[in-house]
Copies of this chain bind each other. A is one copy, B any other.
Amino acid sequence: MDFNYEIIGTLAAILTTISFVPQVVKIWKLKSAENVSLSMYLVLFTGLILWLWYGFLIDSFSIKFANTITLVLVSFIIYFKIKYK
């Protein structure tokens, strides 16, 4: 079979990572994050730290790379949520 499974996995990782960009932009533009759940992003942040740890344990570039970028985006959302709540 010629089809490379990893193309689907990589595309999936890119989409779930960049999905947070519009939320960062929206909070930044509206200067408000009233309906955005801080609990969600704190639990997500903790989960991403563990994903990053897992990425180092199994030495997976994709897991380390995707989760580092998502951590940065989620950190912005947490910062804005605390600043603008």
Chain A residues close to B by CB (< 8 Å) = 5, 8-9, 11-23, 25-27, 30, 32-37, 39-41, 43-44, 46-48, 50-51, 53-54, 57-58
Contacts and interface: CB of A to CB of B under 8 A. Distances in A.
A1 to B, nearest CB: 10
Q: Chain A binding site: helix, strand, loop or mixed by DSSP?
A: helix
B15 A43 contact: yes
**Count of chain copies:** 2
A48 B8 CA distance: 11
A64 to B, nearest CB: 13
Contacts of A44: 15-16, 19
B22 A39 contact: yes
A37 to B, nearest CB: 4
